[in-house]
Structure 1
Amino acid sequence: MSTEKKTVFLSGATGFIAQHIVKQLLDSGKFKVIGSVRSEDKANSLAKNFNNNPDLSFVYVKDISDPVAFDEAFKEHGSKLDYVIHSASPFTFDITDIQKDLITPAKIGSAGIFKASVKYAPNLKHFVVTSSFAAIVNASKAADPNTVFDESSWNPSTLEEALQNEFNGYRYSKKIAEKTIWDLSKELKSKFNITAVNPVFVFGPQCFDSSATGNLNTSCEFINKLVHSKIGDDVSSSINGAAIDVRDVARAHIEPLLNSEKFNGQRLLLSDVRFGNQTLVDILNELPELEGKIAKGVPHSDENIAATKAKIVNDKTKELLGFKFISLEDSVQDTANQILRVQNVFKKILV
C-alpha cells in the first residue's frame, strides 16, 4: 500500500474555511497542499502560522475574475495534482457593484479553475467546490414552514433579481458559481469526480488567533458584535438562519478525497440547527466572562424559531459524512472564547 502523500490544490487558501481545510489536510499527514493566494505577504503570513510546514506551498492568483487566472499555476503543477478544492469566492455584502464584485468573480473563477483542471491536471481524481446554502435556498419561501430544502434544491433566482440588491446578488453568485461547475463537467466531459459543499452560516473559531482581531468574517461577525455589546443593547431579530461549525465544513471538503466514488456527484448540505440573534445571546451569556456584561434581550425567545422557518432536510449528507456535527453551543462559545483570549492579550500588551 502506497504511503506517498497526495497533492491538493486549494484556491483561496487564506479564507476562513480554507485555513481550516489546510490544517486538517496537513494534520492528517496524508496530503501536500498547494494554496493559491493573492500576494506574497499573504503567503508568508500563512506559512508562518503553519510553522513553515514543508508540505504547504503557494502560488499567486491575483484576480479570479481573469478567465485564465489559474492557467499558469496549473501548467506548472497540474501534472502532480490529485485533488482540487475550489474555495475562492467572495462572501461579503460590503460591495459597490453587484455584477463586478460578486457575480463575475464567482462565475469566471469557477469556470477558470475547472477548465484549467481539465486541461492541465491529467491525474486529477476529485474536484470539490465550496458552494453555499445560498445556491439551494428559495429566499421567497425561506420563512414558509411548509417548504423543504434538501440536497436537490436549487435557488431559482434570475440575474435580474440578483441585481436588485447585494443579498440577492450574493445568493445568485453562489448558485451560478456551483452551476458553472456542474455544467462544465458535462460540456467538457471531465473524467474526475465532483462534489459540492453547501454550508449555511458558518461559525467557529478562526484557525489562528492572529485572525481573530478587528472585524471577523461575515458569519462570525454576528458573534463578535454580540461579544462587544453592552447591557441594555437591543438584540435584533433580523439576524436568523441555520448554523454549522467551520471545522465540520472543512472536514466535509476532505471526506470526498478519502472516498471519491462514494461522494461523486453529491451536494453536501452542511446544516445543524436553526438560530436567531437571541439564540446566540443566550449561549454567550452562559460564559462566566460575559454573563451580566453584554446584551441580554428576551432570554429563550428564539426557542421555537425552527417552527417558523422552512425545513432543512440533510439526512443524505449526514449519512454520507457519518460524523456528528459540533453543537451550536460549542461553536459559538469556542468563537467567543477566542475573541476574548485575543482581546485580553492585546490589553496586556497595551498595559
Structure 2
Amino acid sequence: MSVFISGATGFIAQHIVTQLLEQNYKIIGTARSQAKIDGLLAQFGNNPNLSMEVVEDISELDAFDATIKKHSKDIKYVLHTASPFHFETDRYEKDLLIPAVNGTKGILESIQKYAADTVERVIITSSIVAVFDVKKERDINHVLTEADWNPYTWNTCQTNPHTAYFGSKKLAERAAWEFVEDNKGKVKFTLSTINPSFVFGPQNFDEDVTSRLNTSCEIVNRLIHSRPDDPIEDLYAGFIDVRDVAKAHVLSMQRSELAGQRLILNSGRFTIQDIVDILNEDFPVLKGMIPVGTPHSGAQHNKLGATIDNSRSKKLLGFKFRTLKETIDDTTTQILKFEGKL
C-alpha cells in the first residue's frame, strides 16, 4: 500500500518523502508541472518507490479526481501538504483562500468518491495561524491550546496578505473536520491535522539553496545577508524545525493514538533578535557583517507575550523537538556552505 502526498515538491513535503523512503514506503506524490516532477525524481535518484502525478490547480474541486481514481486500490494514507504560503498578493480569494479551502475539500471528496474503502488515514498540514488570535499575541496572560481557533471569517480575513493567509488556514482546516463529521459511515479514514509554527531548518537538498528561500527560511536568509546598520524587525512568533514537522506527519500515519488529533508543533518562542544572537555567537564569518541589536533581549530569554501550551501534542508525539539554536545553526550552515563562506 502507498502513501499519497499532495504538493510533494514543497519544503516540508520533501522532508516527509525522505523519511518515508528511509522506512521503505511506496509514495505517490503530486506536483503542479512535469518539470517539477522530473526535478524531484532526479533529486531522489529516481527511487523506484517514488512516483509522481501532475495536479495543476488545486483550486479546482475535482483536481485530485483522476489521480486518486487511478491509484485508488493502492492508497492507504493521504498526506495533504499542498496549500499556498506566501504574502505577495492582493488577490486574496484567488491566490490564498480558494486554493487552500478547495484543495482540502477537493482531496477529501476525491477520496470519498474513489478510495473510501482503502484510505485509512488522512493527515493535513495546517498551521498554528489557524489556532491563534494575532491580536492576543503580545498578551502575556493569554494561553492558547489545540482547542483554539483564530477569529477570521472569509470576509474579515481579506484585509492584507497576512490575515488572508491566516483565514485560509483556519477555513481549510475547519472544512476538513466538518467533512469528517458530515460523512461518518461514508468513509473509513481518520483525520489528523498538523499545525506548525514558523518552520525553519535546512532545505532537503543543498542544491535548493537559492538567493530567495521559502517564506519561513527567507527570514534567516535575509538576516545572513543583512548589513550592520539594518533595523531589526519586530517579530514575535513560535518556531519548529522542518525535520520535526516531517516526523510528526509520519507518526500521525503510523500511531493509532494520533488519529483524530489536532497537533500544535511548536518548540518555543523567538524574535528576530534571538536569531541575530545565534548568528553572531555561532558564525564568526558573519561577525561585524550583520546587526547586533540588543543581545539576549528576545523571547528566548524573556516572556514577551502569549503562551503556546502544546504540552498535549508533545506528549502524544513523544519525541523532543529541536531547539532554536539547532535549527538556526543547521539552516545557516547549509546556506553559508553553499555560498562558499564556510
- Which residue type is aligned with residue 122 of structure 2? F
Tell me the SS of whatever aligns to 2:339: helix
Shift of 1:27: 1.1
User: Does structure 2 conserve the Cα–Cα contact (< 8 Å) formed by 1:274 and 1:306?
Assistant: no
Task: Give CA-to-partner distance per residue, 1:294-334, whole Å, 9 cap, x none.
Answer: 22112112156752211100111111111111111010011
1:301 corresponds to 2:329: no
Shift of 1:232: 2.7
Which position in structure 1 is the counterpart of 2:153?
158
* Residue of 312, 319, 329 corresponding to 2:325: 329
Shift of 1:293: 2.5
- Which residue type is aligned with residue 239 of structure 2? A
What is the distance in 2 between the residues matched to 1:304 and 1:249? Answer: 21
Tell me the SS of whatever aligns to 2:20: helix
* Residue of 255, 258, 272 corresponding to 1:263: 258
* Residue of 160, 165, 171 corresponding to 1:176: 171
Which position in structure 2 is the counterpart of 1:145?
140
Bigger mean CA deviation after superposition, 295-304 or 95-104: 295-304
Which position in structure 1 is the counterpart of 2:189?
192
Shift of 1:268: 0.7
Which position in structure 2 is the counterpart of 1:27?
22
Runs of 4+ residues deviating >3 angstroms? 303-306
What is the distance in 2 between the residues matched to 1:16 and 1:306? Answer: 30
TM-score (norm 1): 0.94
What is the distance in 2 between the residues matched to 1:96 and 1:103? Answer: 12
TM-score (norm 2): 0.96
Tell me the SS of whatever aligns to 1:9: strand
Over the matched positions of the two proteins, sequence identity in percent amounts to: 44
User: Does structure 1 conserve the Cα–Cα contact (< 8 Å) formed by 2:41 and 2:47?
Assistant: yes
Which position in structure 1 is the counterpart of 2:80?
86
What is the distance in 2 between the residues matched to 1:303 and 1:45? Answer: 39
What is the distance in 1 between the residues matched to 2:149 and 2:245? Answer: 20
Aligned residues: 338
Which position in structure 2 is the counterpart of 1:207?
204
User: Does structure 2 conserve the Cα–Cα contact (< 8 Å) formed by 1:91 and 1:170?
Assistant: yes
User: Does structure 1 conserve the Cα–Cα contact (< 8 Å) formed by 2:81 and 2:124?
Assistant: yes
Which position in structure 1 is the counterpart of 2:287?
291
Tell me the SS of whatever aligns to 2:52: strand
Bigger mean CA deviation after superposition, 117-126 or 269-278: 117-126
What is the distance in 1 between the residues matched to 2:84 and 2:302? Answer: 28
- Which residue type is aligned with residue 243 of structure 2? R
What is the distance in 1 between the residues matched to 2:89 and 2:59? Answer: 15
User: Does structure 2 conserve the Cα–Cα contact (< 8 Å) formed by 1:276 and 1:305?
Assistant: no
Which position in structure 2 is the counterpart of 1:3?
none
What is the distance in 1 between the residues matched to 2:77 and 2:305? Answer: 37
- Which residue type is aligned with residue 343 of structure 1? E
- Structure with the higher helix share, 1 or 2: 1
User: Does structure 1 conserve the Cα–Cα contact (< 8 Å) formed by 2:77 and 2:120?
Assistant: yes
* Residue of 29, 36, 57 corresponding to 2:51: 57
User: Does structure 1 conserve the Cα–Cα contact (< 8 Å) formed by 2:90 and 2:160?
Assistant: no
Which position in structure 2 is the counterpart of 1:221?
218
Q: CA, structure 1 residues 303+168, in 2 after alignment: closer, same or farther (shift >3 Å)?
A: closer
Tell me the SS of whatever aligns to 2:124: strand
Q: CA, structure 1 residues 303+97, in 2 after alignment: closer, same or farther (shift >3 Å)?
A: closer
Tell me the SS of whatever aligns to 2:88: coil
Which position in structure 1 is the counterpart of 2:308?
312
User: Does structure 2 conserve the Cα–Cα contact (< 8 Å) formed by 1:103 and 1:173?
Assistant: yes
What is the distance in 2 between the residues matched to 1:258 and 1:304? Answer: 33
What is the distance in 1 between the residues matched to 2:53 and 2:121? Answer: 20
Tell me the SS of whatever aligns to 1:281: helix
* Residue of 108, 111, 126 corresponding to 2:105: 111
Shift of 1:186: 1.5
* Residue of 130, 133, 149 corresponding to 1:135: 130
What is the distance in 1 between the residues matched to 2:249 and 2:89? Answer: 28
Tell me the SS of whatever aligns to 1:169: helix
What is the distance in 1 between the residues matched to 2:157 and 2:55? Answer: 27
User: Does structure 2 conserve the Cα–Cα contact (< 8 Å) formed by 1:271 and 1:314?
Assistant: yes
Shift of 1:288: 2.5
Shift of 1:240: 2.2
Shift of 1:292: 2.8
Which position in structure 2 is the counterpart of 1:75?
69
Tell me the SS of whatever aligns to 2:28: strand
What is the distance in 1 between the residues matched to 2:170 and 2:220? Answer: 26
Bigger mean CA deviation after superposition, 245-254 or 281-290: 281-290
